[in-house]
Amino acid sequence: MTLKIEAFTTPRRSVMAIEAWFMDDSNEDQRLPHHRNPKELVTLDYLADLGVLYWKLNSESYENDSELRKIREARGYDYMDLLDLCPEKVSNYEEKLKNFFTEHIHQDEEIRYCLEGSGYFDVRDKDDRWIRIWMKPGDLIVLPAGIYHRFTLDTGNYIKLMRLFVGEPVWTPYNRPQEEHPGLTHKVSGRSKLMINPRVSGNTTKRSGLSSSRRFRLEVKNTTEEKVVVSLVTNSSSFSFSSSSPVVLLGGSLWR
């Protein structure tokens, strides 16, 4: 039995879209834009192909935002905290910036929502090129597990972020290189992708007939350049489904 499951809230495509571009190779101040000459902008669709998801929300009403609540419920983001990052509010500011700007991957998604200020998330594309994503108030992005990335402030030197997690927060970075790290990577279209602890909320599987209270795991059965086939197994039944967005679903096994 093969199902195509639309599991998550669809990211918003808007004229107020986030700005992103391919970076130059300059070693100048990391807080500068680092555009190529001429500029090479990156579309939301290109980011989505990398597994990077985006929503535009109203950051001024984040405490009572029904759209944010729906996203959190649909994707299982049941833990959040706030981070003010600037020299005046962080005692080890320079050390933190250095750590954030070291290229690394995580075993889980990285979900960040900009409430105030601005900053840059840099991510690697499939050809190992840096893409700079400019986060401003109202921008919410999800970086998939296993994508090489880093973060820096821009010249404004301030950002206030909401950090979202599935369950207890995990911040463990795995600095590059990690291609040969046992159990962490999986080859997809010739490139290594992080493969552990996919986070899928039980209540996102209602359309497959599963209760949100049931335990389940995801097991990757087959991958191609176009799609990934995943088996979803519960304590009483199993389903298979395919997705054309493999970076969202890639994983080893996870018992929720």
Residues annotated in a binding site for Ni(2+): 104, 106, 110, 149
The position carrying tokens 């905290």 is 81
Pairing of strands 2-3, 238-243: parallel
Kindly tell me the burial class for residue 20, based on how many C-beta atoms sit within 10 Å of its own C-beta (0-12, 13-18, 19 or more).
Answer: buried
* Neighbour count for residue 24 (Cβ, 10 Å): 17
Alpha-helical regions (H) of the chain: 44-49, 66-75, 93-100, 246-249
Rounded-to-integer distance, Cα 173 and Cα 181, Å: 13
Q: Which residues are annotated as a binding site?
A: 104, 106, 110, 149
Tokens of 25: 């190779």
Q: Which residues are annotated as a binding site for Fe(2+)?
A: 104, 106, 110, 149
Q: Is the preceding peptide bond at 38 cis, omega within 30 degrees of 0?
A: yes
Residue 240, CA distances (Å) to 77, 105, 208 in order:
24, 28, 10
Q: Which amino acid is at 203?
A: N
Residue 103: strand, helix, or coil: coil
Residue 46: strand, helix, or coil: helix
Q: Which phi and psi (to 5°) does residue 159 adopt? A: -150, 145
